[in-house]
Structure 1
Amino acid sequence: MDDNKLLIDILKNQVTPALGCTEPGAVAYAVAKAKEILDDEVKKLNITVNTNILKNGLGVGIPGTDERGIVFAAALALVIGKSEYVLEVLKDTNKDSIQKAHDIVNSKIINLELDKDADSLYISVEAFGRKDKSKVIIKDAHTNIVFQSKNDEILMNNDYPLPEQAKESNPSNEIKYKIKKFSFDNLIDFANNVPLNNILFIQDGIDMNLLLADVGLNNNIGIGMGKYLNKNVSNVYSKAKAYTAAASEARMSGYPLPVMSSAGSGNHGLVAITPISVIGNDLEKSREKIIRSVTLSHLVTIYVKVQIGALSPVCGCGVAAGVGCAAGLTYLRDGNINQIKNSIKTMIAGVTGMICDGAKLGCSYKLAIAVDSAVDASNMALEDIFIPSDNGILSESAEKTIENLAEISNVGMKNTDSTILNIMLSWC
């Protein structure tokens, strides 16, 4: 496959609309699919998820409602969920469906369990009707359905272990893994030279995320962080920080508008897109330059996420989308290749220790911190100020630095998620 076409396909696969937090949305997607396969009233629903899904779905708002959490999202999916909407599966929510979802929750037919042995993103849904049963399994990515069955008939089965080295060559595996074949030089070259018409769809995400930022800034949503930051804006960079935080606050509160995600996360999409859009507009950069800058931001975000995993102990808004944002901001302001790569390394030197303790309103502050750090890393890189390669986990190449980051997250922090979840469950 032509490299340009492959990268465009990766972008289209990984940059998609999402309504509300991605983790309860993914569970709702699986529930809707199981309900459709069953084709009957669901009398009992068993949901099993891995640590990360439970951690991120525990306390986050469900779009269009005042409710939180995976169980309510699943109940709502039983009422109005349509799998064809994918991560916008709950977009038809209304007052009647909310009341029916409450009735389902109160009936106690939904059982949510944790699979402590699942070491990557995992959602299993079993739906039981009057006579029939169905099962749907999602693995490794929020929309990656690998198994479907009805009664004893297997309708789809791609659920088998795949060694890391085979991910890129196996046609059934997600296309995102193919980004590993590219260097950052390749990604920057793509951003420079891909025909603009092939990436115009990136503008949809810019428009979508700026609209949600406007909602957060002009409505009484969440704890008022976006409004606070906006009140204290002193320059275009603090304005970008306020807009990003406000959009996240609206999203985490469950405001019923979609966001354009990046690498499987709506909050990643906000960091990868919003600061570059706000700063680009204020600096009167061309529409084309902003689109190309956001494109690079997405690609770097996806590259990092493939290395650290779809869900991780480290905050992907900082160490993935924040890194993408730093690269995109440096590109936006005409940084050269070395400056772009140095902004990536400096960003990783600064935010690696940011943990992910679940999706919630407080994520809006982490997004604000990520934007702050990305701006600083980019500003310094443009003046050829960067953290030396012999510092900490950094390496001579940006690619190797990200591999080091992935080892910290995947190996060194193996028990971190379980510890975080135990703390979170103590107040439930």
Structure 2
Amino acid sequence: MNDGILIDILKNQVAPALGCTEPGAVAYAVAKAKEVLPDKVNELSIEVDKNILKNGMSVGIPGTKEHGIIFAAALSLVTGKSEYGLEVLKDVDNKSIEKSIEIVNSGIIKLTLNEKVDGLFIKVTAKSKNDHSCVIIKNSHTNIVYISKNNNIMFDSDSGKEYSEKDNISANEIKYKIKDYYVKDLVNFADHVPIDKIGFIKNGIEMNLRIANEGLKSNEGIGMANYFFNSADDVFSKAKAYTAAASEARMSGYPLPVMSSAGSGNHGLVAIIPISFIGNNKNIPEEKIIRSVALSHLVTILVKIHIGALSPVCGCGVAAGVGCAAGLTYLLGGSLSQIEASINNMVAGVSGMLCDGAKIGCSYKLSISVDAAVDASQMALQNIFVPNNNGILGKTPEQTIENLSLVSNVGMKDTDATILSVMLNKC
């Protein structure tokens, strides 16, 4: 087994993100389009797929009281830097917020839905006094596939024309290599990889616990996390409260980054916080916690690669929740068969959870996911396995994940459009 590939996958898929990743991805594309031009942008057109629109409609923008894709794009015009990746908006201040509100009110930003594209898609066209640029992102949140200035192609992934950030393409492709591995390979990796090779996982633990603590102290959002915390009577229910607190703060626009997993900040919260919080409170050695979180990330990425970057099902439940269940079982001394069973247990419980966009209510879904992951793990540790003849479960965790992918990608292909229609009708 090649540890190097899995390490590269982790480094690629576990990255800091400031705010929700969908408006963040749009802001990243806007920043790149702006930077191509020599003068100030005076007209901006943004075209997105249904999932980007769905996830960007109602979510808070970090460091502000504002919401949505158009404001994120305006803020990127004022202060965005593409070199920051998904932390593109981290230089926000009061002056830039005021200027961004003026830009939104001026009406120079147009946002449209492209109903024909499949998968993640963002196209930004920026115009200045004498020039125009175009940037296209596909398939993952920072995967730029096309850049042009005045119709002159600067980069096109199809033509092979060089892009100055040339690592972008190979970085986007590395994640798909996880399909070459079985769950048993990921567990073996967690067991044997030299700890110094995955030491960076600790940064994500510290980052996500920090925003969880801040969320509880500041009582961001609607008070959901504090309700959970005040009702908690054991370490598992407190882990749920901490995860909800981090999400509630993030979805409200709290100006702290989180460590993402498989392209999603909320996935990162579920993949990291319960395992690290429970491990710390049970005095489990730090190395074991880091290895458990690494496994959680890898299983999350494995599921996410199968169901897609953005899908009709809630990835916090069916991807990160599954990763969390596996990581918790590993943390608490489970065998390979118990880890595999925790995956099936989790899918048996949460496979029907829908994604209806990124918003404050995601905090509740994250809390449900953590609850379910704890139960899936605890049952597996007591050798309580949901039978594989139930529903969409397979004989192996890999078959279960493939079945889940089939239901999500084929059986639910019209679900996103229906959900988005309901959301748009409320506007």
Same fold judged by TM-score > 0.5? yes
State the identity as a percent.
66
Alignment of 1:114-133 (within 5 A): 114-133=113-132
Are the aligned partners of 2:270 and 2:316 in contact in 1 as well (CA < 8 Å)? yes
Match of 2:240 in 1: 241
**Offset at residue 152 of structure 1 (A):** 2.1
- Secondary structure of 1:124 counterpart: strand
Q: Does 1:347 align with 2:338?
A: no
Q: Where does structure 1 lack aligned partners over 5 or more consecutive residues?
A: 161-169
**Offset at residue 418 of structure 1 (A):** 0.5
Alignment of 1:215-254 (within 5 A): 215-254=214-253
Match of 2:413 in 1: 414
Question: How large is the Cα RMSD of the aligned pairs?
Answer: 1.0
Match of 2:63 in 1: 64
- Secondary structure of 2:258 counterpart: strand
Are the aligned partners of 1:82 and 1:90 in contact in 2 as well (CA < 8 Å)? yes
Residue identity opposite 1:15 in structure 2? V
Are the aligned partners of 1:158 and 1:172 in contact in 2 as well (CA < 8 Å)? no
- Secondary structure of 2:110 counterpart: strand
Q: Does 1:368 align with 2:372?
A: no
**Offset at residue 159 of structure 1 (A):** 4.8
**Offset at residue 40 of structure 1 (A):** 1.3
Q: Does 1:313 align with 2:312?
A: yes
Are the aligned partners of 1:246 and 1:364 in contact in 2 as well (CA < 8 Å)? yes
Are the aligned partners of 2:176 and 2:305 in contact in 1 as well (CA < 8 Å)? yes
Alignment of 1:136-215 (within 5 A): 136-159=135-158, 174-215=173-214
Alignment of 1:373-412 (within 5 A): 373-412=372-411
Aligned counterparts of 1:158 and 1:315: Cα–Cα separation in 2: 30
Match of 1:163 in 2: none
Residue identity opposite 1:31 in structure 2? V
Closer, same or farther: CA 159–95 of 1 in aligned 2, 3 Å: farther
Are the aligned partners of 1:147 and 1:156 in contact in 2 as well (CA < 8 Å)? yes
Q: What CA deviation, in whole Å up to 9, does each residue of 1:303-351 have, x standing for no partner?
A: 0000000000000000000000000000001100000000001100110
Are the aligned partners of 2:140 and 2:172 in contact in 1 as well (CA < 8 Å)? no
Residue identity opposite 2:9 in structure 1? I
Q: What CA deviation, in whole Å up to 9, does each residue of 1:242-291 have, x standing for no partner?
A: 00000000000000000000000000000000000110011110000000
- Secondary structure of 2:153 counterpart: strand
Match of 1:166 in 2: none
Aligned counterparts of 1:171 and 1:85: Cα–Cα separation in 2: 19
The alignment's TM-score, normalised by the length of structure 1, stands at: 0.97
Aligned counterparts of 2:23 and 2:333: Cα–Cα separation in 1: 39
- Secondary structure of 1:91 counterpart: coil
Alignment of 1:5-84 (within 5 A): 5-84=4-83
Match of 2:97 in 1: 98
Are the aligned partners of 1:296 and 1:324 in contact in 2 as well (CA < 8 Å)? yes
- Secondary structure of 1:174 counterpart: helix
Are the aligned partners of 1:304 and 1:320 in contact in 2 as well (CA < 8 Å)? yes
Alignment of 1:272-283 (within 5 A): 272-283=271-282
Q: What CA deviation, in whole Å up to 9, does each residue of 1:43-85 have, x standing for no partner?
A: 1000000000000000000000000000000000000000000
Aligned counterparts of 2:335 and 2:220: Cα–Cα separation in 1: 40
**What is the number of residues matched between the two proteins?**
418
Match of 1:167 in 2: none
Q: What CA deviation, in whole Å up to 9, does each residue of 1:200-243 have, x standing for no partner?
A: 00000000000000011111310001111010110000000000
Aligned counterparts of 1:110 and 1:346: Cα–Cα separation in 2: 46
Aligned counterparts of 2:254 and 2:328: Cα–Cα separation in 1: 28
Aligned counterparts of 2:2 and 2:356: Cα–Cα separation in 1: 37
After the TM superposition, list the runs of 4 or more consecutive aligned residues in structure 1 that deviate by more than 6 angstroms.
none
